[in-house]
Amino acid sequence: MRHVWVARLACCYAAHVSDRHPAEPAPDDGVLDLLGILAYASLTAFFRLCDDAALAISLADKAALAEMAVAEFGHFQLLRTRIEEMAADPTAVMQPFVAAVDAFHARTAPSDWLEGLVKAYVGDGIAADFYSAVAQVLDPATKDLVLKVLADTGHAEFVIARVRAAIEADPRVAGRLALWARRLVGEALGQAQRVAAERPPLARMLAGDAASQLGDIGRMFAQLTDAHAARMAALGLAE
């Protein structure tokens, strides 16, 4: 599974960087695109986590998921401030990514509390890995911001205990949640392909310079998938 989607995504980015000259500087609209999609993804994650928290039975779990939601809103605020510092309008910068991010959530609405937990954990984890990976190709100011956002993740640890307890109580849960996690990754990839197709400057910026682009993208997605596999293992789920 993992190598298939690494290859799919690497090809998809490569298709959009083939027209790029090696000496061309990273265009600003690539950076704004990145800030725009991260900002809108954070804002949306905030709302979806709020919705998913409503599925919790205990007040303590409800509050724990709400805390993850609030952390996402903090990310949104940092990203929005950076967009404004770049003299751009946050709404305009986010707009191109509304359809893809909304489509992802529409196709991955959790049907119960456990699915909500797994989505929060997997999503938070992939987002953190992605932030860490893209930080390497950014200008110093944007890089600082992305690393700051990254340092504020890690609220998802309480999920591990909850999911493991649920699997212990009913081992059949593991199979269902493993399938769910795969579906989440699949849907995220589908929307990532769409974004890459629609926003060549973003695809180009993430690809780095032409000589190393395939290697860099490959490495980035290999790291993402290794970390994803580690998270699945932590939850007690087969990848």
CB of 66 to a copy of itself, least distance (A): 6
Nearer to a copy of itself, 71 or 237 (CB): 71
Distance CA 124, CA 42 (A): 10
Instruction: Confirm or reject binding of residue 51 to a copy of itself (CB under 8 A).
Output: yes
Q: Which stretch binds a copy of itself (CB under 8 A): 61-69, 142-150, 161-169, 198-206?
A: 61-69
Residue listed under structure tokens 């890089």? 143
**160 part of the interface to a copy of itself, by CB under 8 A:** no
Here the tokens at position 224 are: 């993402």
Nearer to a copy of itself, 44 or 191 (CB): 44
Q: Binding-site residue total for a copy of itself (CB under 8 A)? A: 27
Q: Helices (H), strands (E): how many in the chain?
A: 11, 0
Cβ count near 150 (within 10 Å) = 17
Tokens of 72: 């996402």
Q: How far is the CB of 132 from a copy of itself (least distance, A)?
A: 25
Q: How far is the CB of 54 from a copy of itself (least distance, A)?
A: 6
Count the Cβ atoms, other than its own, within 10 Å of residue 114.
19
120 is a contact residue toward a copy of itself (CB under 8 A): no
Q: Which of residues 67-106 bind a copy of itself (CB under 8 A)?
A: 67, 69-70, 73-74, 76-77, 80, 90-91, 94-95, 98
Which of 16-24, 52-60, 152-160, 205-213 is the region at the interface with a copy of itself (rule: CB under 8 A)? Answer: 52-60
Nearest residue to 35 via CA among 152, 134, 154? 134
In angstroms, give the least distance from the CB of 97 to a copy of itself. 11
Q: Does 43 bind a copy of itself (CB under 8 A)?
A: yes
Per the structure block, which two tokens stand in for 215? 């290697």
Residues 193/130, Cβ–Cβ less than 8 Å? no
Tokens read off for 165: 């307890």
- CA-nearest of 32, 16, 116 to 80 is 32
d(CA 158, CA 23): 46
Q: Which residues contact 218 (CB under 8 A, 6 or more apart)?
A: 6, 10
- Please identify which residue in 1, 7, 11, 54 interacts with a copy of itself, judged by CB under 8 A: 54
- Stretch touching a copy of itself by CB under 8 A, among 59-67, 121-129, 131-139, 149-157: 59-67
Q: Where along the sequence are the contacts to a copy of itself (CB under 8 A)?
A: 40, 43, 46-47, 50-51, 53-54, 58-60, 62-63, 66-67, 69-70, 73-74, 76-77, 80, 90-91, 94-95, 98
